[in-house]
A and B are shown apart, each in its own frame.
Chain A
Amino acid sequence: KAGVTQTPRYLIKTRGQQVTLSCSPISGHRSVSWYQQTPGQGLQFLFEYFSETQRNKGNFPGRFSGRQFSNSRSEMNVSTLELGDSALYLCASSLDRVVPQETQYFGPGTRLLVL
């Protein structure tokens, strides 16, 4: 079974621009979570989607948004990019049986550099 895939793998943008990142979960997985990893803050949870609905959101500004499609693929968008948005963005998928929380499987990430 193919793993989680993310595109693009690398991205360079300038301040003020916007960016869209894509994540395709493992086949059959319905929950997709997004994380931001920076040297200063470590790995931080952005949001989670299930059946095209955002069920959980981390402590990030409204410039960070996402969506999920009917095939469970997900996108996240960052508008009005700031230098501090430079990070590795990771998505993870899981089967989502509510109790207990399922193992999450991570994609290879998208490295975003904002100049």
Chain B
Amino acid sequence: AQSVAQPEDQVNVAEGNPLTVKCTYSVSGNPYLFWYVQYPNRGLQFLLKYITGDNLVKGSYGFEAEFNKSQTSFHLKKPSALVSDSALYFCAVRDYGQNFVFGPGTRLSVLP
């Protein structure tokens, strides 16, 4: 069965510093990986995805993620964090049944 782990419940970073939100996955075949963000009182919003091709994927709001097959990871990154990036971030993998399996989420706090 497919699964996703986000090892950190909470990540704190100072504004202007780089941020990383970690994700590791387990799948039987080719991984199809996604990052979503949830702002307070809002539904999840799509940030970026990896399907195939270049291991570095760029997405919305200056975020990017690096697919690493040998480490089965898909970490979310941003070179310079903003206070407005503070939110709950979910990594997800798509399984053979074409349904999503979500990680438990990581709360990012960017401190001014």
Do these two chains interact?
A: no
Residue positions of A touching B, CB distance < 8 A: none
